Structure 1
């Protein structure tokens, strides 16, 4: 009896590996929160990998297992001599080398500027930004996502920086010039706080009331009034911006005006 030979089954194609869903979140106080940004990323389906290097948490040597990373703010200065601050500034080279989506918020933006070789310093007249302030978005800022860049934002800082060499200015301020910038394909520095919620405003103002007395600070009632007037626009922009950023989508390029094309990007 002849034995029928069955043809060998074709090997099944390997399933494409799923894109990493974790987002590294770096915080600097035990009570710190990623606020609105954390809530939005969770709503997009991302897991937050929260670490506090100040209290001994290690930072990963690679972001291969992460979709991106965000360094948030804190009351300390990048000019402090603490070892963990130096290590965190140096670590920013990881997302830059790997071209992973990265955001620095307030202190995180100052760390990014310092990593790029720029000085971070106090205002020459000792002024601060604490509360809601107007900023002037550039055309590049408006093209980060489909929502226009907000022109009133919440601030809480006493130091600032100039635009790092080779970076693209996204928004400028009055007392502190560089309010937002992009470097490389997907690294963003934001001097202001798009993550802030109303409970966070209450908590910050209660714990550091002396900041409200510094030159240039807004009185507390204007913080609450500013939240009522401006937070909806900031929230809508934050959602559109974060969705595009975490997908690694590059910003659109400004259209040429006549014979001249904008060469900032």
Structure 2
């Protein structure tokens, strides 16, 4: 399988050395599931948008410090590209910012979370089981997270796959070809710890302490990495039929 990575930001320079950049993290996650997975990276935040006919099996978008509602030319171009992928029925998986971009580009709504930052490892409930969600081990899902915005209204043909009281639209599927995940299965605990340190001036001490405490628990990063590849393969099978 070959994945087109839509890179929407860079890791802070001080953190790239120990943790790598966003595409590195996603490649590490998905290769831990399938070592033969190949990647082509497109630096969308620097104006490098691919052609939708690129020779890839599916697309994955990274997170970003930007917001889906920001007024930037490259964000508008990514939105246009998402709509082309939707129209041509190509598999697309959005992570955090990418999840929000899918929702907004296809007619949903994204807003700043009323309850503040979503930080650390927090648990959500899977509301339905899709065929590509294998293996299946629990109704609960826990991933690392770092976000202020979230999807508050699904696009047409969207449905909620997982949610919580804090983030009701935590995971969604739009039609048969788009999957959005608010959490970060590609993040390591060490990276999120260091990221929290860089945001001490923007986050209350109480929220930081709670986020750090949550990192002691287990997460379902490899499970979700497998689901991402399963989802892309399932779309490809449908297109071949």
TM band (smaller chain):
0.7 to 0.9
**Pick from 37, 46, 60: which aligns with 2:26?**
37
CA contact (8 A) 1:22 1:68 kept: yes
Is residue 2:226 matched to residue 1:240?
Answer: yes
| Structure 2 CA distance for partners of 1:60 and 1:121, relative to 1, 3 Å | same
Is residue 2:241 matched to residue 1:219?
Answer: no
Is residue 2:14 matched to residue 1:28?
Answer: no
TM-score (norm 2): 0.81
Gaps of 5+ in 2: 12-20
Q: Give the corresponding residue for 1:98.
A: 88
Q: Give the corresponding residue for 2:17.
A: none
Is residue 2:38 matched to residue 1:47?
Answer: yes
Question: 1:63-102 residue pairs with structure 2 within 5 A?
Answer: 63-102=53-92
Q: Give the corresponding residue for 2:123.
A: 134
How far residue 94 of structure 1 moved from its aligned partner, in angstroms, is 2.6
Aligned equivalents of 1:97 and 1:218: distance in 2? 44
Instruction: List per-residue Cα deviations over 1:162-200 (Å, max 9, x = no partner).
Output: 232321210012122100011121310111111111232
Instruction: List per-residue Cα deviations over 1:51-70 (Å, max 9, x = no partner).
Output: 2211132x222245111111
Structural RMSD (CA): 2.6
CA contact (8 A) 2:121 2:215 kept: no
Query: More strand per residue: 1 or 2?
Result: 2
TM-score (norm 1): 0.75
CA contact (8 A) 1:127 1:216 kept: no
Question: How many residues are paired up?
Answer: 224
| Structure 2 CA distance for partners of 1:34 and 1:199, relative to 1, 3 Å | farther
Aligned equivalents of 1:82 and 1:119: distance in 2? 17
In our comparison, the structure showing a higher alpha carbon Rg is 1
